[in-house]
Amino acid sequence: MKANLDKITKNNRALFLAYDHGMEHGPTDFDDESVDPAKILKIADSGYFTGFICQKGIAEKYYDQDKNKVPLIVKLNGKTKLLAEEDPYSPQVCSVEEALNYGASAVGYTLYVGSQYEAKMMKELAEIEEEAEEKGIPAIGWMYPRGKAVAGKEKSKEILAYAARLGLELGLEIIKIPFTTNQETLSWVVKSAGEVKVVLAGGSKIDEGEFLEATKKALEVGVKGLAVGRNVWRAKEPLKMAEKINKIIFG
Ligand code: FBP
């Protein structure tokens, strides 16, 4: 069955609100407002987003399939930053089946391209992709170059394009790559990904104007949108920031 991208895209573009940081970084990214999943889900449900990304625990306890309008995207793997391994492995912690029970419209998985555990993660992601396709929902890959083999080259044109191409070869529908402002790199990444839609992570919080400008520039070379966290929910006024990003992406 062909995965249905209609639910999580609009006019072939996407804007996802990412909120899986509690597992990846711990609560250090949060303040008194953003530490509360209910408040972030409210921002996600504002109408500006085509998806809300979280881990299974938040999906189970906060996402209400009858009330929430924003489509749910469940991250199926994750790790903490406490071990800070040079070659990271991010184990699967949720199945496609479980994500569907929470009402997921898509599933996500982080693959650390270049890590010594890359083969293990490729296998897990390939199995997830197969099952997601059977169920008709899209599989989204966080294609993040990381590990000794790619140290210092994580955002190079060649390595980022390789990570993007891997997403196409593995059968993914959307790939998310680390935030970069280099148009030449992004243009080659987009070409390398073929029919797979490329979205950008937001990265650490930066100046709002600078972030909006970078978003515009990324779209100019074929990037299809963002899967952004901190640059929205740590903005002075998250809803206003969401509205501005939405305007840039969807017009
Ligand atoms: P941001 O827009 O806040 O960067 O979120 C994107 C994201 O990929 C999250 O989904 C994830 O939790 C985090 O960044 C991973 O960060 P890191 O680069 O430290 O692994």
Tell me the per-residue pLDDT of 49-77, one tens digit each, with 9 for 90 and over: 999 999 999 999 999 999 999 999 999 99
Dig out the tokens for 3 from the structure. 């995965």
Closest by CA position to 137, among listed 168, 103, 169: 103
* Arithmetic mean of pLDDT, 140-153: 97
- At 58, which amino acid appears? I
pLDDT at 1 exceeding the cut of 80: no
Dig out the tokens for 231 from the structure. 């640059």
pTM of the model: 0.97
Tell me the per-residue pLDDT of 83-132, one tens digit each, with 9 for 90 and over: 878 999 999 999 999 999 999 999 999 999 999 999 999 999 999 999 99
Query: Which of 52, 142, 215, 241 for a ligand 1 pocket mutation test, highest count of atoms within 8 Å of Cβ?
Result: 142
> What CA–CA distance (Å, rounded) separates 154 from 226?
19
Instruction: Return the pLDDT at 152.
Output: 95
Instruction: Return the pLDDT at 84.
Output: 79
* Arithmetic mean of pLDDT, 144-172: 97
Instruction: Return the pLDDT at 36.
Output: 98
Tell me the per-residue pLDDT of 183-241, one tens digit each, with 9 for 90 and over: 999 999 999 999 999 999 999 999 999 999 999 999 999 999 999 999 999 999 999 99
- CB of residue 131 inside a 6 A radius of ligand 1: no
Instruction: Return the pLDDT at 129.
Output: 98
DSSP 33: T
Cβ-contact 221, 246 below 8 angstroms: no
Cβ-contact 63, 54 below 8 angstroms: yes
Nearest CA to ligand 1 atom 17: 24
> What CA–CA distance (Å, rounded) separates 249 from 91?
32
Instruction: Return the pLDDT at 3.
Output: 79
Instruction: Return the pLDDT at 195.
Output: 97
The enclosing H or E element of 247 equals helix 238-250
- CB of residue 142 inside a 6 A radius of ligand 1: yes
The yes-or-no answer on residue 162 being catalytic is no
- CB of residue 78 inside a 6 A radius of ligand 1: no
Tell me the per-residue pLDDT of 6-39, one tens digit each, with 9 for 90 and over: 999 999 999 999 999 999 999 999 999 999 999 9
pLDDT at 2 exceeding the cut of 80: no
Measured on CA atoms in the order 84, 88, 94, 96, is the torsion positive or negative?
A: positive
> What CA–CA distance (Å, rounded) separates 232 from 40?
10
Which residue of the set 56, 75, 176, 244 is catalytic?
176
- CB of residue 155 inside a 6 A radius of ligand 1: no
